[in-house]
Chains A and B, each alone.
Chain A
Amino acid sequence: MDMSTFLVSSVHDMKNSICVMTAYLEAALTDLPADAPSRNMTYQAAYEAQRINHHLIQLLALYKINQDIYPLDPVEVELASFADEVISRVAPLAAARGISLSVHLDDNEHNWYFDYELLASLVTQALHNAVKYTRDRVQLSLLLIDEQLEIRVADNGEGFPPFMIDSERPTLHGIDSHSGSTGLGLHFAAKAAHLHRNRTRHGTTRLENGGALGGGMFVITLP
């Protein structure tokens, strides 16, 4: 058996485990009284389970992208419903931390064309990060700019350290030293965006400071 078979089958297995963990934690949250001291820890545990899940998705996807076998499945996506879904994935964590989430949709564009699962995973991850580093607000915007869709995740936290913004392509090392994150997220985001193409234009990602809420802003552009 080659490596990819092991990789794929163990990821499937781990995902089943995460599924069970997440479900039990969600069930525990429904049972816990609102003022139970263990409530926040349970939220934290559910969030960590989500993080493991994201990392698994990203590792597997990156492996496939590098092997040139990623089964990209662009479809027409209704943006309002997409926003609902990604927001619903981070809403419990945000609520637990007292952070308000808002959505800003473009009135002129209701649909776009991309790989739903890939982008949902990407944007959820960005929202999770924003919730972690913001002061008290996070905004998701889906805007039509220069005939491309910009998905922006903005917060009112401290913003990104300058070296992250400066580096054209964040390297694995560069990011590691700052936040303890592996840099996998940004690397994955750039690769995943690039898979999306309309004629000659490819998708891109970028980081900004200032943004809609004055803090950090992560932007995915899809042609």
Chain B
Amino acid sequence: MAAEDSYKNDLINRTFLLIEDFEAMRGILRDLLRRCGARRIDIAANAKEALSLMRRGKFDVDVVLCDYHLGPGKNGQQLLAEARHEGLISASTIWIMVTAEKTAEMVMGAIEHQPDDYLLKPVTEAALQNRLAKLIKRKAALTEIATAMRAREYGKALDLCKKRIEQDPGNQMEIMRLQAELFLLLDQPEQARQIFYRILARRDIPWARLGLAKLLIHECDTEQARELLECLIDDTPNYLESYDLLAQIYRRQGAWQDMQRVLSKAVEISPNSAQRQNALGESAFRCENLGLAETAFQRALKLSAQSSLKVATPYLGLARVYSAQNKTADALGLLTRLTADLESDEAGLQAKAEEVRVYQRAGNMEAAIAATKTISARIEGGNQNLSPPATLDLAETFMLMGHRETASKLLQFVIRNNHEDSELALRAQDIFEKGSMSGEGRKLVQSSRQQAIDAMTQGGELASQGKLEEALAYLNHAKTLMPRNPRLLLNHSHVAISLLQKNGWRHDLETAARRSITTARQVSPGEKRCGELLAKLEALR
């Protein structure tokens, strides 16, 4: 009894949020929570009320008990996504979804979007009590690890995982999964592979097989990765992440038919991922399957309208489809919506660039020229924060409109900042060719690459001669030319860290090193060395 009392005392101080649309159930669940020992309970009847309560709340909610079906408006899953996206709940918040049954959709969602647990109706006092106790214990251990991971203290997170496995034999697989993820972040693929093997020795766990496939892709063994993923899909057809990864392989190979086939199958199983619908739309458009592309982009648009994370892809994709179908007015209407809905400079520019092409395709050169002028005026202040695809889009538009110099500047910028990306170089060369600048383009691509390589060499030489201050100054200068080149950014942080190691800790240097790593990882998520450098920074503290 003593253990139960201490657990009840534990609940007294925690804050609860109960979200349930059905009035009778609301009263019942509140009473159940009270009988379990909860005292601080907020109640909402739907997603809207819940969001405004969470936004107003001065303290984090500790436990959310949420019905999956919440009547009209957002359901429990969409509410959870929104709360996470807005940062209304923290890593330590326990989210329990109450539902009559577990549906395929709940089971197939990616793990990072899942609630902490599902509780099936009818909820009894004993079941609720048992679940709360279990989740509180598990969350306490995982929160520490999650917090370390968020602070990018991967070494510390690994230590915590190890300690946890030694202390508690329960739920080890969950911890091993985190360990593998951490090893990958620290760029220690062999360690991660060992974990996958250990799991797979006993049982074919889908995430471990997927992890192996990712390692193979990383090592450029595409053929084996493809085989592994096809087996995985055969064995566990409901594990959708394997379809998405396979589609990525096909995209890289330009195998649009295959990409369309595998994504069509995935969408049949679960149509509710905007990202997947976008990818399907892209592949269908490439296969000139305009009907399928249209459906896919439309679904993606609808899905992203319900979510808090909006991207330009479905708008641009659908506008391209309409334009190809000669539905100019529809295409333009969509681009106006894109600008209004996303409210970001990048999206606005991408919409404008697409607009030019829509006009051009429709033969309205006057409007195309006017729109091009708007873009030129807007990017005069600099275009450093545009993603490579967006920059290429802009360049292609300028090239089509005969603004060769602007186009070529943009292309050189992309190449300088991504000098190792041969796929981008090919696309850039394509665009040069569209502007009849084939030979000149080749030279420009070559010289932009060389410029980047020279900067790496020069910086490296200075550093290896021990002239760390000079190397840092040189790299700082190179960074203004190539602010988004991951290799350069990592070299920069490497030199900064060496200086810290030599002369002791300095706040500005640490910040600079960290910022370079963060940008590098943002630009190129799979970039090697990021983890290694972060570990070094961590060790310096």
Say whether A104 faces chain B, with CB atoms less than 8 Å apart.
no
- Check A88–B129 contact: CB distance below 8 A: yes
Interface size grouping (class) on chain B: 35 or more
- Check B171–A111 contact: CB distance below 8 A: yes
> How many contacting A-B pairs (Cβ < 8 A)?
96
**A117 CA / B25 CA spacing, docked (Å):** 21
Interface stretch (choices A10-18, A32-40, A208-216): A10-18
Say whether B143 faces chain A, with CB atoms less than 8 Å apart.
no
* Chain B, 134-184, CB within 8 A of any chain A CB: 134, 169-174
State how many angstroms separate the Cβ of B106 from the closest Cβ of chain A.
7
- Check A85–B100 contact: CB distance below 8 A: no
Given known A27-B31, A88-B126, A113-B203, contact A16–B169 (CB-CB < 8 A) = no
Say whether B118 faces chain A, with CB atoms less than 8 Å apart.
yes
State how many angstroms separate the Cβ of B489 from the closest Cβ of chain A.
39
Say whether A96 faces chain B, with CB atoms less than 8 Å apart.
no
Within the complex, which residue of A22, A23, A57, A71 is in contact with B106, where a contact is CB–CB below 8 Å?
A: A71
Residues of B within 8 A of A71 (CB): 102-104, 106-108, 238
**A91 CA / B102 CA spacing, docked (Å):** 25
Given known A23-B32, A76-B174, A198-B203, contact A16–B121 (CB-CB < 8 A) = yes
Residue of B122, B125, B127 contacting most chain A CB atoms (<10 Å): B122
Residues of A within 8 A of B28 (CB): 19-20, 23-24
Which residues in B have some Cβ–Cβ distance to A below 8 Å? 22, 24-25, 28, 31-32, 35, 69, 100-104, 106-108, 118, 120-127, 129-131, 134, 169-174, 203-205, 238
**A88 CA / B203 CA spacing, docked (Å):** 30
| Chain A residue with Cβ nearest B126 | A88
Within the complex, which residue of B122, B126, B134, B169 is in contact with A19, where a contact is CB–CB below 8 Å?
A: B122
**A219 CA / B52 CA spacing, docked (Å):** 50
11 A-B pairs with CB atoms under 8 Å apart are A8-B101, A15-B122, A16-B22, A18-B121, A22-B124, A81-B130, A85-B131, A88-B129, A89-B127, A111-B172, A113-B205
- Check B127–A19 contact: CB distance below 8 A: no
**A111 CA / B170 CA spacing, docked (Å):** 6
**A117 CA / B122 CA spacing, docked (Å):** 12
- Check B170–A81 contact: CB distance below 8 A: yes
Closest 4 CB pairs of A and B: A88-B126, A19-B122, A78-B170, A71-B104
Residues of B within 8 A of A136 (CB): none
**A84 CA / B120 CA spacing, docked (Å):** 16
Residues of B within 8 A of A110 (CB): 169-170, 172
**A31 CA / B10 CA spacing, docked (Å):** 25
Given known A85-B127, A88-B130, contact A80–B102 (CB-CB < 8 A) = no
Say whether A69 faces chain B, with CB atoms less than 8 Å apart.
yes
Say whether A30 faces chain B, with CB atoms less than 8 Å apart.
yes
- Check B35–A30 contact: CB distance below 8 A: yes
Given known A11-B101, A88-B130, A117-B120, contact A19–B174 (CB-CB < 8 A) = no
Residues of A within 8 A of B108 (CB): 71
- Check A81–B204 contact: CB distance below 8 A: no
